[in-house]
A = this chain, B = another copy of it.
């Protein structure tokens, strides 16, 4: 009881300490706008990747979302609200960014003169050239597979479990490191007053694990395997959601797809446990000033690279 009271006051102080200068400094902060329409697993935690302990003093994020829906009408509302918040640059997240909703979203934000990075999944690969021609950045995560969206199978709990499994794969295999690093680069450019170079990355297994900082090559092998399994889940969910018509069949197939993802998550977990066994887990926490630190041993201080 007593301890709790102390904690809570500490808590308030801590947060006030953050928010006071944050309030004063707001003009100096980089403000990142996230426009989320529909869901992919790269999206739900993306803004927290930039400020994982809520103590970063050089950054503000704002998120506007229309939830699971992603029609052009939804895009219009999301885009207009986001532009009102005057972000320095914008990140859009959606499945299949070639669909009309995401396209409309990009169009409106681009019209607002705000730099834009598309974070999306494998079907977006087919419009890479369009994105480049339009000057957009992109991070396309091939392992961010669609879930088994069939009523006989997918309820809110199953949907959540699929997302936790997939986010675990993205976390361990290096995808979240890429999102962190690439968005930080853009933020850094803006802080320096430079024109940011937007990322143009298709995240396949090789790109992913290169960012994950593995020291044990078998852990890395397991991570690559987890990535590939996660990526191939989409074959089954696509078949189950768009090809198969008999409900007994598609229910069986989308259930198999989720078993694949659960297995991929366990394999990712194995990879991380293997790094723990060697005390070599790579960590790259943010400093309060927004720079990225690095460490490998648990009981060691994170280091600035220079």
Contact = CB atoms under 8 A, between A and B. Distances in A.
A170 B266 CA distance: 18
Contacts of A158: 52, 283
Nearest to A73: B23
A69 B51 contact: yes
A62 B76 CA distance: 13
A93 to B, nearest CB: 12
A151 B12 CA distance: 19
B255 A285 contact: no
A230 B168 CA distance: 18
A107 interface: no
Given A48-B67, A157-B176, A274-B276, A251 B10 contact: no
A159 B168 CA distance: 11
Interface string A214-239: 00111011111100110010011010
Contact of A101 (B7, B15, B62, B265): B15
How many copies the complex holds: the figure is 6
A299 B217 contact: yes
Interface string A144-167: 000001111111111111011101
Given A242-B11, A279-B217, A285-B151, A251 B298 contact: yes
A53 B151 contact: yes
Interface residues of A, number: 133
A104 B215 CA distance: 47
A172 B161 contact: yes
A28 interface: no
A132 interface: no
11 contacts: A18-B71, A48-B156, A49-B159, A52-B156, A54-B70, A152-B295, A161-B171, A164-B265, A217-B297, A224-B236, A274-B276
- Report, nearest first, the 9 A-B pairs whose CB atoms are least far apart: A19-B71, A224-B256, A61-B67, A54-B68, A44-B44, A221-B255, A218-B276, A63-B65, A155-B285
